[in-house]
Amino acid sequence: MHTAALEQLQHHLTAALSIPPAEARRLFHGRGRQWPGLEQITADWLQDVLLVSLFREPPAPQLVALHALLRALAESPAWRASGGKHLLLQHRYRPDSATEYLVGEPIDSGQIVESGLRYQLDFGRKQNSGLFLDMRLGRDWVREQAAGKRVLNLFAYTCGFSVAAIAGGATHVVNLDMARAALSRGRDNHRLNDHDLSRVEFLGHELFKSWGRVKRGGPYDLVIIDPPSFQKGSFVLTQDYAKVLRRLPELLSEQGTVLACINDPAIGPAFLIEEMAREAPGLRFVERLPNPPEFADIDPDAGLKALVFAAG
C-alpha cells in the first residue's frame, strides 16, 4: 500500500460514497489485482456500514497511513452524503479476524438488502459476515429458476440460496450444512422475508454421512453445490468434490439442473467441467454465470466459478 496506491483507494472510495448503492455492494475489490499495491484490501458497503478488510498485514507505516485515510474519508462530504454511520477495519489475516471500529459505536450485527431480499449479517466478530457478495448474480439466477421446483442446497451456510429460491416460488428447499449456527441464521433470514418455513428444511449434518436422509427428500429439480475450498476434517475441494458429483444422478429429477460452484483462485472452471463429465456423464455443461462487475479480476478464471449443468 504505497502512497500512490492509497491515494487511488481514497479517490475510488470517495467517488463510490458520493452516490452510494441502495443495496449491499462491494465498493472496492483489490483482490481482483487491478490496482497494484492494493491487492490485499477490499471495501464493502453494507447499508450504513463501510467494512474495509485487510487480508495481509501491512508494514506499520502503511497501516498508519491507511488509518489516516479512512478517518479523513469519514470527515468528507462524500461520507456525510452516503449516510454512513459505521466504519470498520477488519484484520482478516489475524486468527481472530480482529475488527477496529474507526467511526461509530461498536456494532455486532445488522440487516442488509440484496435484490430486494433481507439478510442478517455479523460485524466484527467473525471472519465472514454471513453473505458472500460475489454470489449475488448466482442467487438472482436461482430466484429466476426456482418456481415450482424442489431445491437441494448443499453447504448451505446461512441459506442465501434458499431465501432466493423461496422468493422465486420454490415449493420446497432442503438446506444441509454441518454448522448448525449458520442454519439457525438461515431460519432468521427466511423470517426476515416473511417466508413460509413449512416449505424449508434445515439439516445440520455432515454431508458424507447423510446421503440417505438427503436422498429421501428428493428427487430435486435443482441442486446447488457451493462448498468451501477447504474445511479441516470435512471437505477438501480437490479430493471431495467428486464424491458429491457422483451422487447427483440419484438426487436429480429427470430434467434436473445443477448449479456447481468453486471459489478457489487456483482452480479454474475446467476442473469442475472435467469432474462432472467423469462422475456424472449424464449431465451436460450449459453455462458459466457472470460474476458481479464490481468483482472484476485480471484473470477471469481466478474469480468465482458458478457453473450450470443440466440433465436430459
The pLDDT value recorded for residue 309 is 98
State how far the Cα of 57 lies from the Cα of 98, in Å rounded to an integer: 12
pLDDT interval class at 3 (50, 70, 90): confident
Q: For residues 203 and 175, is the Cβ–Cβ distance under 8 A?
A: yes
Is omega for the bond preceding 293 within 30 degrees of 0, making it cis?
no
pLDDT interval class at 254 (50, 70, 90): very high
Burial class (CB in 10 A: 0-12, 13-18, 19+), 73: buried
The pLDDT value recorded for residue 312 is 75
The pLDDT value recorded for residue 230 is 63
Render pLDDT for 112-134 as a digit per residue (tens, 0 to 9). 999 999 999 998 777 788 899 99
* Residues of the chain above pLDDT 70, percent: 98
State how far the Cα of 279 lies from the Cα of 178, in Å rounded to an integer: 24
The pLDDT value recorded for residue 2 is 76
Which residues have C-beta within 8 Å of that of residue 300, sequence separation ≥ 6? none
The pLDDT value recorded for residue 231 is 66
Cα separation of the two ends of the chain: 51
Q: For residues 142 and 165, is the Cβ–Cβ distance under 8 A?
A: yes
At residue 258, does pLDDT exceed 70?
yes
Q: For residues 136 and 101, is the Cβ–Cβ distance under 8 A?
A: no
Per-residue burial over 159-185, b = 16 or more CB atoms within 10 Å of its CB, e = otherwise = bbbbbbbbbbebebbbbbbbbeebbeb
Instruction: Please calculate the CA angle 236-240-241 and round it to the nearest 5 degrees.
Output: 105
Render pLDDT for 201-248 as a digit per residue (tens, 0 to 9). 999 988 888 899 999 998 999 999 999 876 666 688 889 999 999 999
At residue 300, does pLDDT exceed 80?
yes
Average pLDDT over every residue of 16-43 = 94
Average pLDDT over every residue of 126-143 = 93
The pLDDT value recorded for residue 232 is 66
Give the SS3 label for residue 19.
Answer: coil
Residue 34 main-chain phi, psi, to 5 deg: -95, -15
Q: Give this prediction's pTM.
A: 0.94
Residue (of 307, 207, 185) closest to 258 by Cα position = 307
Helices 269-279 and 237-245 pack at an angle, to 10 degrees, of 40
Give the SS3 label for residue 276.
Answer: helix
Burial class (CB in 10 A: 0-12, 13-18, 19+), 133: buried
Domains delineated in the chain = 3-122 (3.30.750.80), 133-311 (3.40.50.150)
Average pLDDT value over all residues in the chain: 93
Name, of 92-106, 222-236, 258-272, the range with top average pLDDT: 258-272
Render pLDDT for 146-184 as a digit per residue (tens, 0 to 9). 999 999 999 999 999 999 999 999 999 999 999 999 999
